[in-house]
Chain A
Amino acid sequence: MDLYDLTIAEASARLARRELSAVELTQAHLDRIATVDGHVRAFVTVTPEVALEAAAAADRRLAVGERGPLLGVPMALKDVISTRGIRTTCSSKMLEHFIPIYDATVVTKLYAAGAVLLGKTNMDEFAMGSSCENSAFFPTHNPWDLDRVPGGSSGGSAAAVAAGEAIYTLGSDTGGSIRQPASLCGVVGLKPTYGRVSRFGLVAFASSLDQIGPFTRTVEDAAIVLEAIAGRDPNDSTSADVPVPNFRAALGGDLRGLRLGVPKEYFVRGMQPGVDAALRAAIRELEALGATVDWDVSLPHTEYALAVYYLVAPSEASANLARYDGVKYGFSAEAPTMWEEMERTRGLGFGPEVKRRIMLGTYALSAGYYDAYYLKAQKVRTLIKRDFDEAFARYDALVAPTSPTVAFRLGEKLDDPLQMYLSDVCTLPINIAGVCGLSVPAGLSDGLPVGLQIIGKPFDEATILRIGHAYQQATHWHTLRPALARA
């Protein structure tokens, strides 16, 4: 097995036994990036010096007997997560040269745990998109088929793990931006409950929906990373004051006694037959592991989630992105007057999808339309949340597709925003309700990965991780690697 195939659990065990040094492990990943990233293009910035220095520091900590699951393990961060002294671009021309002056709380926590930063990964500009094609710099390619998208918006983070360029990565998920690319790239992706992980230092897109979460190869690794980054943070008043359990210790055992529901609305029209078949097989596997499955659950307001999301998220985005005025930081264009300068800065600094959403959000919040669009959407959001409340009174978790399709071709949906928006139809409702969701590799369709989505109660990540872990103990899908990995 190559070093770049290791999981966190495997790598940290070998580091702990001192069979392998963090510098060797890090160098293996830097070499891997040098070999494959010209094709995959997962990274916006690679930080070899920072990585090797952190690895050497981790080796010193290991040498004096310190141990920890992330100590000396190389990782990468979506380029929307602030890193002090390392440029953080959001894959936007607006922040192409922006260098944060502080670390995000998740970064502070990972550094303290001994994490080694390999670099910053590509994304749809300001996390708006489902294919990574909205990056202002270049698209990322799916390691399973370089002519296809990795999904988005955290496409670089998903592709990096799939291609063996990092053992784990962090992404952010506002409407599916961790789970959908995880599904399309055949890796594990977790969106924690809203408030579980601090958003301090995460460049804001839609503040009532955004959450940071991990990409890994196994569910066990996702549990390890979540435990390291979760918890109340005084710098984020929306982070929840809820105890963080030992997620890794909660793994294990079969699924006897668990009640699972399959929401029928998630098996949408237009779902690919291969995806449908793989998912039904995966859910039958969960039944075989002892879970009780109700195949006929209804979340009746699901069909309204897309409209709610595309009113609420752009509205919040239009307010959050008002800060890019060309004065304090970021791109700045010149014009004869202050207002013209601001309009030109924003007109040239933002790409088409970001502009579209700013326009949509500004419209929905503007006088005369606020009640009809924004307020109406927030009321329907209540109905969607109630659907989940009622379902979770009867079931311990819900299981559904992550994406109705496998990875689509680059360019296929680029000129049709509505078609692009539909690729998140199975993930959006989870953010709207604020609950947690996990995508786990669950088979192949036409040689491309399919993801099973496991949806959990608020702050009950432990149950969905336990289900995903049991599934991975019984199946081999997560051990498959794209052909690229042997290139």
Chain B
Amino acid sequence: MAGDNKGDRAKQNGRTSSTIPPRAAAGVSDGLLDEGYAWTDAPHRPGAGYTWSMSLTRDDVLHVARLARLGLTDEEVERMQGQLSLILEQFETLRRLDTEQVPPTFQVFATTNVFRDDEPRPSFPVDDVLQNAPLREGDYLRVRAVLEE
């Protein structure tokens, strides 16, 4: 059954052998909660105040890619480093403004909580919900083990 499902996924995605190197090869370690990595290589530590870094290092890019769970090729890392640095440089203009006394606007029309009555309603049929699932097992989504030995 699992084999069939895999076949479905391959068909659905027009599947593909990856050209992205495994994370280890891109210099990022694999640990799930690898706090050690997070800042040791990053030149701008948290809590060091406002560091308006105009140019990102390769390690910065790899760190952010890891936070976003985004696999990048070496070429993409290099291109991203240049482009993001250039874009961040533009944001420097904001420093000119004194915003000490200005409140932030997270949404334009300050909406407070919106409540509705907690009335039971029918849910979507399970088959509908699972019809787009890459891998399915019975009435469940099939995923790889989160914690492995």
B87 adjacent to A418 (CB under 8 Å): yes
Residues of B within 8 A of A326 (CB): 134
Interface check A372, CB cutoff 8 A: yes
Q: Which A299-357 residues have C-beta < 8 A from chain B?
A: 301, 303-304, 306-308, 310-311, 318, 322, 325-344, 346-348, 350, 352, 355-356
B107 adjacent to A208 (CB under 8 Å): yes
A377 adjacent to B94 (CB under 8 Å): yes
Interface check A86, CB cutoff 8 A: no
Q: How far is the CA of A303 from the CA of B9 in the complex (A)?
A: 47
B146 adjacent to A338 (CB under 8 Å): yes
Q: A346-B70, A347-B72, A356-B80 are in contact. Are A97 and B102 (CB under 8 A)?
A: no
Residues of A within 8 A of B32 (CB): 339
Interface residues on B, range: 35 or more
Interface check A381, CB cutoff 8 A: yes
Number of interface residues of A (CB under 8 A): 78
A332 adjacent to B13 (CB under 8 Å): yes
A237 adjacent to B68 (CB under 8 Å): no
A368 adjacent to B69 (CB under 8 Å): no
Chain B 133-147, CB-CB to A under 8 Å as 1, else 0, gives 111000001011110
Partner of A348, one of B20, B46, B133: B20
Closest 8 CB pairs of A and B: A347-B71, A434-B108, A368-B46, A329-B132, A378-B104, A332-B134, A343-B71, A379-B99
Having A337-B148, A343-B70, one finds 20 other A-B pairs with CB under 8 Å, namely A99-B132, A101-B131, A101-B132, A194-B108, A301-B97, A306-B90, A311-B91, A327-B141, A328-B132, A328-B133, A337-B30, A338-B145, A338-B146, A344-B71, A355-B80, A379-B102, A381-B104, A385-B105, A433-B108, A434-B108
Which residues in B have some Cβ–Cβ distance to A below 8 Å? Answer: 9, 12-16, 18, 20, 22-23, 30, 32, 44-48, 50-52, 56, 60-61, 64-65, 67-73, 76, 80, 83-84, 86-88, 90-91, 93-94, 97, 99, 102-109, 111, 114, 116, 124, 128-129, 131-135, 141, 143-146, 148
